[in-house]
Amino acid sequence: MNNQITCMFEMDVRPGMLESFRKVIQQAVSATRQEPGVLIYEYGISDDGQKAYIVERYQADALIPHVDETFAPFAQPFVDHVTFARLTVFGDATAAMRQRLDAFGAVYVKTYAGFDRFPT
């Protein structure tokens, strides 16, 4: 886990934007699927459609390329559809990572204990 970064986003979906946001999500997932360093990229939507969540886990060296290259074309469509409410980042985020993630109001948490079953 030392070489991995996990990001957990919570977003408020703008009224009337859920269905078009679902299309943006599908496009972002398709683009991200091509990135071998992305270990988890999973969206969830609350039952009432007012909240959206993303759980992302990266090999540490894959986070910046994801933000700068893959996610960049989706940044404006996201802002058009949601308000970022919370981002919690687990792992040893570098200064360069923090520079990208601070715009989302990131809270950084050092991993204390745990495990995963991903190959290292």
What value does the mean pLDDT take over residues 20-46? 97
CATH topology of domain 4-109: Alpha-Beta Plaits (3.30.70)
DSSP state of 14: P
Side-chain-facing half-sphere of 33: CA atoms under 13 Å: 7
Question: How far, in Å, CA of 54 to CA of 43, rounded?
Answer: 4
Q: What share of the chain is helix, strand, coil (3-state, %, to 5)?
A: 40, 35, 30
Would you kindly state where each structural domain of the chain is located, as residue ranges?
4-109
Vertex 101, ends 99 and 103: CA angle to 5°?
A: 85
Q: Write out 56-92 in H/E/C secondary structure.
A: EEEEHHHHHHHHHHHCHHHHHHHHHHEEEEEEEEECC
Question: How far, in Å, CA of 94 to CA of 71, rounded?
Answer: 19
pLDDT in tens, 43-63: 999 999 999 999 999 999 999
Question: Which residue has 């270990």 as its token pair?
Answer: 39
pLDDT in tens, 61-103: 999 999 999 999 999 999 999 999 999 999 999 999 999 999 9
